[in-house]
Amino acid sequence: MSRGARRAGAGQGAAVAVQLLVTLSFLPSVVEAQVTGVLDDCLCDIDSIDNFNTFKIFPKIKKLQERDYFRYYKSKIPVGIKAGSSNKYSKVANNTKELEDCEQANKLGAINSTLSNQSKEAFIDWARYDDSQDHFCELDDERSPAAQYVDLLLNPERYTGYKGSSAWRVWNSIYEENCFKPRSVYRPLNPLAPSRGEDGESFYTWLEGLCLEKRVFYKLISGLHASINLHLCANYLLEETWGKPSWGPNMKEFKRRFDPVETKGEGPRRLKNLYFLYLIELRALSKVAPYFERSIVDLYTGNGEEDANTKTLLLNIFQDTKSFPMHFDEKSMFAGDKKGAKSLKEEFRLHFKNISRIMDCVGCDKCRLWGKLQTQGLGTALKILFSEKEIQKLPENSPSKGFQLTRQEIVALLNAFGRLSTSIRELQNFKVLLQHSR
């Protein structure tokens, strides 16, 4: 543990440590029952996910993210950002504190666009290869002239200073416009919204009145939000000396976002939704394995040996995902009448497009990069779960008109799952830190 991390955690006091241990420990308590045990809407327990992730998934997915095929993702700066304050999601309040925060966010959140000449030449070859493939799915903004490859290893997801009303508006729009909230519920769904005195758990009674599919959608967005917050807490700017930043876990920030007392009971719910999202994407990876097992599918970078090694590692991860014994049963979703199910699937798709559009309006380059990637990764996971029949009918030696994934979707899918795997690992790290701080 770094010296900066020790300083960040040392002054929080025994009461903070004990309360956070209650949130995450495996000791029997009322709160523990909320963040361990069996998850709602599935038959999987959190302990099993922790062990599976720690010993099987996390080490391998981390290696995969370092391979050339998976470390580069296409990103662009949307017109809404370039145009300044005209965008409804990116307006910044005109006060000194927020302007100072914005200045820090611009510095820490800037994209490192450094690419070697060798990489730039490789991207031209990749584009030529990708263009030669048959595409039967929507390419979104991959072909945009403004899109360029970004090295994800040079741009890790961490605290950037992007916060305040600007960040609040983005997440509030995501929740309010997309999460099927009944009109009778007046409080914003954004977890950072003022609670108006009510208990966090009791506020969510409306959720139980929704159909399974709409409950799942809310949990996915909440889980994504929780995962992103965990990354920021685990990689926080602790101090900056002589222009050199020091990053590490911030227990005070973790407590503010997840402690059951400070969040009035909502913190454990957010953590449970993170585990639920992990299960959904884990299930998608196990289902899409046959697509990648075909000889026609390669992970092309121009380096034949590396490409073969990357595919071997990926297939090894897929084998692990298929071995997990308590998968989410996606067949329980959209099991009603065909017309209604088709309409709801289309609603899901449109909501994800809207969320991606809102993410375009995030005023921090690095936050937008990772927000877009993880949103696309989750959207790709749902696309897989909705395409089981098409995947089962895939031809071995020719492209399929029924189901296909682009390079961008593949990179987003595995990196998004890698972020979830890291989040669950970071939870374990916070637990250890808190035990040592008692």
Binding residues for FAD: 158, 160, 171, 222, 225, 257
d(CA 85, CA 259): 35
d(CA 173, CA 327): 31
Structure tokens at 278: 């992990």
Q: Within a 10 A sphere around the Cβ of 399, how many other Cβ atoms?
A: 16
Residue 175: which of 198, 193, 157 has the closest Cα? Answer: 193
Task: Look up 44 and say whether it is catalytic.
Answer: no
> Which residues does the annotation place in the binding site?
158, 160, 171, 222, 225, 257
Residue 282: which of 355, 377, 214 has the closest Cα? Answer: 377
Give me the half-sphere count of Cα atoms (radius 13 Å) on the Cβ side of residue 223.
26
Q: Within a 10 A sphere around the Cβ of 5, how many other Cβ atoms?
A: 18
Q: Which of 44, 179, 233, 364 is catalytic?
A: 364
Are the beta carbons of 62 and 306 closer than 8 angstroms? no
Residue 348: which of 397, 315, 381 has the closest Cα? Answer: 381
Are the beta carbons of 30 and 201 closer than 8 angstroms? no
Task: Look up 102 and say whether it is catalytic.
Answer: no
Judging by DSSP bridges, how do beta strands 236-241 and 72-75 pair with one another?
unpaired
Are the beta carbons of 255 and 268 closer than 8 angstroms? no
d(CA 375, CA 420): 12
Residues 6+ apart with CB under 8 A from 185: 206
Are the beta carbons of 62 and 317 closer than 8 angstroms? no
Query: By three-state DSSP, how is residue 191 classified?
Result: coil
Percent helix, strand, coil in the chain (nearest 5)?
Answer: 60, 5, 35
Active-site positions read 364, 367
